[in-house]
Amino acid sequence: MLTLNNIPCEYREGKTIMEYIRELGLDSDRLTERPLAAMIGGAIYNLDYAPKFECDIRLSYFKEEVGRRVYEHTLQFVMLLAMRKLFPKHRVIVQYAVGEGIFMHIKGETPFTDENVDQLRSEMRAIANGAHRFLRRRLDIKEALDFYTADGQSDKVALLEWRKFNYFDTYSCPTYSGYMDYFYGELTPDSSYVKVFDLHRLDSALILMMPSREDPSLPAEYAQSPRMLAVFEQTDDWGRLMRAATVNELNRRVEDGSIRELVRINEALHEKNYSRIADEIIKRGAKAIMIAGPSSSGKTTSANRIATQLRADGLDPVMLSLDDYYIDRDKMIPDENGELDLEHIDALDTARFASDLRILLDGGEAEIPHFNFLTQKRDGYAPLKLKKDQPLIIEGIHGLNPVMIKGIAPSDVFRIYVSALPTMNLDDHNRIHTSDLRLLRRLVRDHASRGASMEHTLGMWDSVRRGETRWIFPYQENADRIINTTLHYELAVMKKYIYPLLLEVPRESEYYCAVRSIVKFLNYVLEAEIEDEIPPTSVIREFIGGNTFYRKS
């Protein structure tokens, strides 16, 4: 017997998942209710797949991360089909997520205009409305290399040289064009699934807007984010400067040994960045430096490196953690599911913090609480009074929330947003997700420092991501400066630590799908044995160990 979303079905050899879905009346024209892919034994499958044996099948929807990625890949493929037809001489380079959109560079001999965007949008809608079927085909590596070489896709040819397997899965749309592409993930069965989207032009770039998370029947609105885009552009520039803009370039540097030079340059660029920020803090005369960012972004190391730079300029900064302002767990109000939401702003005693901050910045003495994470309670207070040369560095996920500095003069506060924002791609059309890099960091750190299993950390990740989306990302543009802690060499280092652990996650695990997604792109990355080259104050040391900021003596 086969089950589909726990509904028993009579198994028939050759019958596709989509046929089972339609037989049970589980398909829908509404995106929120329409299955986009399926999971069998922890692996993701296209809905045109015919199970080879009786099994349990769980359908994936847009509300889930798996479903959103399937939608993104499909929408991207539809855009590339339209670009190929309308603007065959333009090159599309998929870069990174900006809000609920995907940033793409459009390179060509002529500028991409608003009129071109309108033409592209119309053609994409025509493709979506045409319900063109997609064909999934497995090629051997030589066949794939021959095709992409003839098609002029040198980025894919370079990537395939590092592939460990002798096959390669591609998608095409025979009823529309002969174009064939690869996405390290599945697509929907046809183009009718991706009718909700929009395009926004920025100079020589496009933002491909996904459906809104709040109302997937409408495309998300583009939110201006000049600071975030500037940081991405800077990281892009660094990648080109260091010849490490793609996984292929990184692998070349591992192979020829020049990755050691890459480490030195990369770390020097980071150090210059922290130095400049310290100069800006001093120039403003800021008394409080608020540092916020999502999980595994490198906030602690960044706070300490800024403190070091300030000390080099004759100041004596004092560190303060917002974690000490947690409310006692037994005093917190559970959410609608009866669980404590530790990411919620109300998990902190914000009134106490704002009061203490005002006292300190006015030259008074405040009693700073200490939160004991073993007892889950506040267990005491310590007096603190700042001297004239002692700026306060405050780290915590809610550091950019306006409620934290209510009543404080804006000139007294310097706000910093820290995150890991990779711009390195596998190839022109396959980006490495920001959240995947942070998850890698957290998996490595939690296992090394806390003995946590992969499944334990993965089990908390969805809750962490929801908290970030609600309480951190909306305030990132409030920052005076954004620090990108991504290191262009770190995948080559991290792989050694994480890859064997990921392979130990059993196929029957509910987190196998997330693990498999990471393993897929890590398969293309060469490992590098260069720990002796990495400084003890590097951001990556916060995760692989050896960070001297954590030493007590």
Q: How far apart are CA 45 and CA 137, in angstroms?
A: 13
In this structure, the answer to whether residues 241 and 269 fall within a common structural domain is yes
Q: Name the band, by pLDDT with cuts 50, 70 and 90, for residue 340.
A: confident
Q: What pLDDT does 247 receive?
A: 94
Q: How far apart are CA 60 and CA 186, in angstroms?
A: 12
Three-state secondary-structure class, residue 251: helix
The enclosing domain of 353 has a CATH number of 3.40.50.300
pLDDT 10s digits, 230-289:
999 999 999 999 999 999 999 999 999 999 999 999 999 999 999 999 999 999 999 999
Q: Of 189, 179, 156, 162, nearest to 73 (Cα)? A: 189
Q: 161 lies in a domain?
A: no
- Phi, psi at residue 544, to the nearest 5°? -95, -10
Q: Of 465, 460, 455, nearest to 510 (Cα)? A: 455
Q: Is 183 left (phi over 0), alpha (psi -120 to 50) or beta?
A: beta
In this structure, the answer to whether residues 7 and 126 fall within a common structural domain is no
Q: What percent of the chain has pLDDT over 70?
A: 100
Q: 147 lies in a domain?
A: no
In this structure, the answer to whether residues 90 and 53 fall within a common structural domain is no
In this structure, the answer to whether residues 239 and 316 fall within a common structural domain is yes
Q: How far apart are CA 426 and CA 445, in angstroms?
A: 24
In this structure, the answer to whether residues 311 and 450 fall within a common structural domain is yes
User: Looking at 223, 253, 288, which one is the last position of a domain?
Assistant: 223
Amino acid of residue 503: L
pLDDT 10s digits, 9-34:
999 999 999 999 999 999 999 999 99
Q: 151 lies in a domain?
A: no
Q: Give the N- to C-terminal CA distance of the chain in Å, as an integer.
A: 63
Burial 165-179 (b: 16+ CB within 10 A, else e): eeebbbbbbeebeeb
Q: What pLDDT does 264 receive?
A: 97
Q: Look at residue 486 and tell me whether its pLDDT is greater than 90.
A: yes
Q: Which two tokens stand for residue 117?
A: 């965007």
Q: Look at residue 317 and tell me whether its pLDDT is greater than 80.
A: yes
Q: Which two tokens stand for residue 490?
A: 């770190």
Q: How far apart are CA 421 and CA 239, in angstroms?
A: 12
In this structure, the answer to whether residues 218 and 251 fall within a common structural domain is no
Helix 259-284 to helix 226-241 angle (10° resolution) is: 150
User: Looking at 163, 198, 223, which one is the last position of a domain?
Assistant: 223
Q: For the residues 421-441, what does the mean pLDDT come to?
A: 91
Q: How far apart are CA 37 and CA 17, in angstroms?
A: 9
In this structure, the answer to whether residues 96 and 235 fall within a common structural domain is no
User: Looking at 193, 223, 253, which one is the last position of a domain?
Assistant: 223
Q: Look at residue 553 and tell me whether its pLDDT is greater than 60.
A: no
Q: Of 68, 64, 29, 27, nearest to 186 (Cα)? A: 68
Helices (H), 207-293: 226-241, 247-256, 259-284
pLDDT 10s digits, 113-161:
999 999 999 999 999 999 999 999 999 989 999 999 998 989 999 998 8
Amino acid of residue 143: E
Q: What pLDDT does 183 receive?
A: 85
Q: Which domain holds residue 190?
A: 66-134+173-223
Q: 544: Cβ–Cβ under 8 A, 6 or more apart, which residues? A: 444, 445, 448, 493, 494, 497, 531
In this structure, the answer to whether residues 183 and 252 fall within a common structural domain is no
Other C-beta atoms lying within 10 Å of the C-beta of residue 282: 16
Q: How far apart are CA 243 and CA 489, in angstroms?
A: 11
Residue-averaged pLDDT of the chain: 93
Q: How far apart are CA 437 and CA 298, in angstroms?
A: 12
pLDDT 10s digits, 185-214:
899 999 999 999 999 999 889 999 999 999
Amino acid of residue 419: S
Q: 412 lies in a domain?
A: yes
Q: Name the band, by pLDDT with cuts 50, 70 and 90, for residue 552.
A: low
Q: 34 lies in a domain?
A: yes
Three-state secondary-structure class, residue 367: strand
Q: 19 lies in a domain?
A: yes
Amino acid of residue 427: D
Other C-beta atoms lying within 10 Å of the C-beta of residue 330: 8
The enclosing domain of 41 has a CATH number of 3.10.20
Provide the pairing of β-strand 2-4 with 56-60: parallel
DSSP 8-state code for residue 507: T
Please count the structural domains in the chain: 3
In this structure, the answer to whether residues 474 and 359 fall within a common structural domain is yes
Three-state secondary-structure class, residue 348: strand
Of the candidate ranges 339-343, 505-509, 545-549, the one whose mean pLDDT is the lowest: 339-343
DSSP 8-state code for residue 328: P
Q: Name the band, by pLDDT with cuts 50, 70 and 90, for residue 517.
A: confident
Q: Name the band, by pLDDT with cuts 50, 70 and 90, for residue 332.
A: confident
The enclosing domain of 85 has a CATH number of 3.30.980.10
Helix 434-450 to helix 512-522 angle (10° resolution) is: 110
Three-state secondary-structure class, residue 289: strand
Q: How far apart are CA 513 and CA 509, in angstroms?
A: 8
> Is-contact 154 187, C-beta < 8 A?
no
Q: 156 lies in a domain?
A: no
Q: How far apart are CA 97 and CA 103, in angstroms?
A: 6
Q: 142 lies in a domain?
A: no
Q: Of 358, 361, 355, 352, nearest to 286 (Cα)? A: 361
Q: Of 389, 123, 204, 372, nearest to 281 (Cα)? A: 389
Q: What pLDDT does 157 receive?
A: 92
Other C-beta atoms lying within 10 Å of the C-beta of residue 336: 6
DSSP 8-state code for residue 223: -
In this structure, the answer to whether residues 49 and 74 fall within a common structural domain is no
Q: Look at residue 338 and tell me whether its pLDDT is greater than 80.
A: no
Burial 233-258 (b: 16+ CB within 10 A, else e): ebbbebbeebbbbbbbbbbbbbeeee
Q: What pLDDT does 124 receive?
A: 98
Provide the pairing of β-strand 56-60 with 43-45: unpaired
In this structure, the answer to whether residues 182 and 271 fall within a common structural domain is no
Q: How far apart are CA 278 and CA 281, in angstroms?
A: 5
In this structure, the answer to whether residues 278 and 407 fall within a common structural domain is yes
